[in-house]
Structure 1
Amino acid sequence: MTNNKIYSRLFASLLSVCYAACSNDGGKDTGTSQPEQGITLTIDDATTYQTMEHFGASDAWSCQFVGNWPDSKKNAIADLLFSTQNDASGNPLGIGLSIWRFNVGAGSAEQGAASGIGDEWRRAESFLNSDGTYNWDKQQGQVWFAQAAKSRGVDKLLIFPNSPPVSITRNGKAFASSGTIISNLASDKYSAYADYLVAVAQGLQTKGLMPNYISPMNEPQWDWNDGGQEGTPFYNNEIASITTLLNQKIEDSNLNATISLGEAGQINYLYEVGNRPGRADQIKDFFTAGSANYVGNLSKVEPKIAGHSYFTTSPFATMVSQRQQLASAVSQVSGLKYWMSEYCILGDNAGEINGNGRDLGINPALYLAKVIHADLSVANATAWHWWLAISPYDYKDGLIYIDKEKTDGNYYKSKMLWALGNYSRFIRPGYQRVKISSSKGDSSNENFLYSAYKDPATGKLVTVVINSSAQPVSFTLKKGTRSLTGLKGYITSSDKELQMQNLTDGEAITLPARSIITITTGGL
């Protein structure tokens, strides 16, 4: 997703109606309110749902510059994103992402202003030179961050281009030509594109990086013809043809990577045609045997479909309904999983929260937490990925914000970083989502949301509770009929950043107004 679509594609805002009774800038707790009482949350860890794979974010586009900032600053930023260590008081130093998404550039940076992409920060270098040779010293800043992630324990790496390299596109640009709705890659270049993706994965290995996934298309439903950034549309039949070629070339190269498909610009394009005929209904097209574009039987195609949660998050009932439809469609294909692979806050959401305007505070963090909750608890996503890990923009698209400076500058932590951390830091790869219910039966109350997870190896439980209301909430947490002991809580609020607190055995937990808590059995 891009600020290009943020600013110029707000036709999609018709899908962005407001959440009913969602939080807004006026929702502050005065500190004098009495907490709601009498709630019991009961975990049934014998009833399990999906197994979580990872939480992640992408390096587009700031890492190309920030990766060359002074060591102290870029390492501090890397710690915030990837660290699983704690400070002396037991507070997490970072949010412990478990996958990193590497944007493979198309070469618009080398073209400069002639690229047609006005914002230099949205251009990207390419490893592929115009003469067909490769230069593995390109994209150095991004390589640094991928290596920093690996050194901090992130063992999954996904590579994704927004466009094929400019040397093989139809128009010699990294975006499609205006007035057309065709991909910027002619069919006689499909094989060259597949060769290129394999070569990039192999080239990154020379840097000590081992790509686990290759995602060859990004948001193929959009037209990508206005020069806001690198990008191209693709039709499903084109995707199937390229995937078939890429599958064979991965096999031939003995590359240890699989192909990640989908990356739909909205989740409904995964399960219905909608307003994008030929570019949507991707679950049926790619993973239903007998479809003309069936690729689900290919050896290197990952048995999962990826989609982006944009334009489908409000109102709350609609967010739930669309994710129920998605979960139903995924469940009809045996063994298929769903990844929510990109999101940031877009549009005006009918006045509820506006994507415009940088906000480091708790309001967008609570909104973000609701979306994560719905994607995990309703859509059964096994992965959840944010868009820009680092943003220079005046928009709600970053976990960490920076001055728009190429060589040095300041960085700023957002509450959205820590809200994602309430999930990513504690729900580790391999954990299972388990059943949790309230004594009040209020699972549809969007201001009080809860989900629970289990480490099947140790039995450790992790519970995330979101209180978006202007009142504190008091609840007890049980497993079956017994109270849990040895609990620790990690709170994100207007004045806390995953701050750890010991919880007293047998006593109710009071969650402050407008805050998020992660509760662990035995702490970290």
Structure 2
Amino acid sequence: MAIFLILCLSTGSTHCQVVTHPPTEVFNLKIDPQNLFQEIDHFGASDAWSGQFVGNWPEDKKQTITDLLFSKDMDEQGNPIGIGLSLWRMNLGAASAGQGDGSGIRDPWRRAPSFLNEDGHFDREGQKGQFWLAHTAKEKKVEYLLAFLNSPPVWLTRNGKAFVDSGKQSNLASENQAAFANFMVATLMGLKEEGLAVDYISPVNEPQWDWEDGGQEGTPFWNREIASIVRSLDAKLQESGLSTKIDIAEAGQIEYLYGEHNRPGRANQIREFFEKDSENYIGDLAHLSTAISGHSYFTTSPVHQAVRKRELVANAVQQVPRLKYWMSEYCILGGNEGEISGSGKDLGMTPALYMARVIYHDLVVAQASAWHWWLAISPYDYKDGLVYISKSETDGDMEESKMLWAMGNYSRFIRPGYRRVSATLTDQQMQNKDLLASAYRDPESGNLVIVLVNANNSEAKVSLQVERDGIPEEWAGYLTDKDHDLAFRSILSPEEVLVPASSILTLTTGVP
């Protein structure tokens, strides 16, 4: 049997071309919509640190950037305009930007301003650029807003700076923990009064690292300190009447969630914070999120280790009733066993396919309910951006990356409330790093979404088999490869679907 695929090119043409492919081996993909796994909460990315500048760029350019990140609209040919993020991460700065070179942070773009000044006055102009981006996210129907902090404000730190003198001690004295909670709640109240309600606040970031090199704002924290800060913050939120939930603990690597690894007193955080016999137990606090968050850095290769570590995360989370796991930050860094280097900007498919593999393992193996990329907008020569810009504070150029659209193969179609369902490639004992499939279902509409990642340099043919419900007749496809950016494809025969070489193809029975 030959395989047919209708290609409707995204060049403005209304003509479709039927392409015939010779018969080759077909992979059978069995989908069971009734075999349910985790509920998906959101896909997100961060405004750090470019948001403070890009939010003040010319209107047309910053609208283009936010359309790419937030839009759920389609163009006239049915191609998505953007990747439809469902969560936006807004950095609440520690006011190091106001210190200039005296901040000790070498890169001015990594110094951050603050909405609040030392006397407690809120001014949205303090983080004008970030406010514009967050407000625009809400206007473009991004469902959730999360505010995160890398450091307490400089007037509360031990050394008056936004990074530490020594990684052996946190930069927040215990007597200032209540004031730190006051700072966060006052900022949230000010934002709400300006029409920007914050759904989640993350008070600490990667507390396992020492943060003593002046590369950015940051401080280590020990688990006992995190627990104390969260208790103070929970009490202040209760007093304020805000509904904001607290997200913890942005672990620097996922090993710190389920084991001590190499950071005693700063690790084993699932047990430390959610087991009732722990002295750092905070699982009963009214404003604590039902999720624990960690970062996928330095754990993505080789594949067998990536899988094993994510199995350990999932197992540890499952020991705590109703607890969920959020993968709350990732970009491609070093330490990838020679598979890929973080250095050097690459707008092409190589990092995009690597990213897609990480998303797959985090969702399917670790059973993450959320997945967040690091820099939404990057000025750096590094594999850390969805959109890249020139390093200019007032205006500049921008470029889309294939990582943007690869994330969109997930984020645009898998909406909050969808459930992951069983997806099994029956021709393989287990899915390998070169052909991956995962599936998701909207419990309300019944809409199915399948994401196929083909990292092979040859095309793959997949036969869809939907258990129990039978296979839907009509599917839409959205392709990201070297020539296409989430481009619409009509699927003529869902029983034999062509997945091009080095591509990501999302299939859906209905576009949300």
- Give TM-score, length-normalised by structure 2: 0.94
Structure 1 unaligned runs (5+)?
Answer: 1-30
Q: 1:261 to 1:506 in 2, by over 3 A?
A: closer
Query: 1:115-130 to 2 correspondence within 5 Å?
Result: 115-130=103-118
- Of 101, 104, 118, the match for 2:92: 104
Distance 1:295 1:522 in 2: 41
Q: What residue number does 1:38 align with?
A: 26
Q: Does 1:277 pair with 2:264?
A: yes
Q: Percent sequence identity over matched residues?
A: 55
* CA–CA distance in structure 2, aligned partners of residues 32 and 55 of structure 1: 36
1:469 matched residue in structure 2: 456
1:88-487 maps to which residues of 2 (within 5 A)? 88-177=76-165, 179-480=166-467, 482-487=470-475
| Distance change (3 Å), C-alpha of 1:333 and 1:35 | farther
Distance 1:281-1:34 versus aligned 2 partners, 3 A rule: farther
| 2:38 paired residue number | 50
Deviations 1:499-523 (A, max 9, x none): 0010013551111100000000134
Asked if 2 retains the 8 angstrom alpha-carbon contact of 1:486 and 1:523, the reply is: no
State how many pairs are aligned.
493
Tell me by how many angstroms 1:256 deviates. Answer: 1.2
Q: CA separation in 1, counterparts of 2:456 and 2:494? A: 25
Q: Matches of 1:270 and 1:262 in 2, distance apart? A: 9
Distance 2:310 2:107 in 1: 35
Partner deviation per Cα, 1:97-131 (whole Å, 9 max, x = no partner): 00100100001100000000010000000122234
Q: Residue by residue, what CA displacement relative to the aligned partner does 1:212-231 show, whole Å, maximum 9, x if unpaired?
A: 11110000000001100000
**1:326, 1:123 → 2: CA distance?**
33
For 2:68, the equivalent position in structure 1 comes to 80
Contact 1:400 1:411 in 2 (8 A): yes
- What amino acid is the match of 1:65? F
Question: Conserved in 2, the CA contact under 8 Å of 1:443 and 1:449?
Answer: no
Instruction: Tell me the secondary structure at the aligned position of residue 137 of structure 1.
Output: helix
Looking at structure 2, the residues matched to 496 and 71 of structure 1 have their Cα atoms a distance apart, in angstroms, of 27
Does the 8 Å contact 1:36/1:472 carry over to 2? no
Q: Distance in 1 between matches of 2:355 and 2:318?
A: 25
CA contact (8 A) 2:438 2:452 kept: yes
Question: 1:137, CA displacement in angstroms?
Answer: 1.8
Query: In structure 2, how many angstroms separate the alpha carbons of the residues matched to 1:371 and 1:33?
Result: 30
Measure how far apart 1:132 and its partner are.
Answer: 4.0
3-state SS in 2 of match to 1:250: helix
Q: In the alignment, residue 462 of structure 2 is paired with which amino acid?
A: F
| Separation (CA, whole Å) in 2 of partners of 1:494 and 1:391 | 21
What is the CA-CA distance between 1:439 and the residue it aligns to?
2.5
Inter-CA distance 138–459: structure 2 relative to 1 (3 Å threshold): same
* Paired amino acid for 2:121: T
Amino acid at match of 1:377: V
What is the alpha-carbon distance in structure 1 between the residues aligned to residue 274 and residue 425 of structure 2?
A: 37
CA pair 445-336 structure 1, distance change in 2 beyond 3 A: same
Helix, strand or coil at the partner of 2:180: helix
> Residues 46 and 141 (structure 1 numbering): CA distance in 2 closer, same or farther, change over 3 Å?
same
Query: Shift in Å at residue 136 of structure 1?
Result: 2.8
Q: Deviations over 1:262-313 (max 9, x none)?
A: 1000001000001000000000000000101000011111111000000000
Counterpart Cα distance in 2 of 1:258 and 1:208: 18
Structure 2 unaligned regions, length at least 5: 1-18
Quote the residue 1:18 is aligned against.
none
How big is each residue's C-alpha offset from its partner over 1:81-110, in whole Å with a ceiling of 9 and x where there is no partner? 000000000000000000100100001100
What is the alpha-carbon distance in structure 1 between the residues aligned to residue 360 and residue 104 of structure 2? 39
Contact 2:302 2:337 in 1 (8 A): no
Asked if the contact 1:342/1:384 (under 8 Å) is kept, the reply is: yes
Counterpart AA for 1:68: N
Q: Indicate conservation of the 8 Å contact 1:35/1:510, yes or no.
A: no
Letter in 2 for 1:115: S
Find 1:510's aligned residue among 494, 498, 501.
Answer: 498
Cα distance in 1, alignment partners of residues 332 and 167 from structure 2: 28
Match of 1:170, SS?
Answer: coil
| Residue type of the alignment partner of 1:245 | S
Q: Cα offset for 1:77?
A: 0.2
1:437 positional shift: 1.2
Do residues 70 (structure 1) and 58 (structure 2) align?
yes
My pick for the range that moved more, 354-363 or 473-482, is: 473-482
> What is the CA-CA distance between 1:348 and the residue it aligns to?
4.5
Q: Which residue of the partner structure matches residue 10 of structure 2? A: none
1:16 is matched with none
- What does the per-residue CA deviation read over 1:318-346, in whole Å, with 9 as the maximum and x for residues that have no partner? 00000000000000000100000000000
Aligned partners of 1:116, 1:506: CA distance in 2, in Å?
Answer: 58
Distance 2:380 2:246 in 1: 31
CA contact (8 A) 1:465 1:518 kept: yes
User: 179-188 or 293-302, which moves further after superposition?
Assistant: 179-188
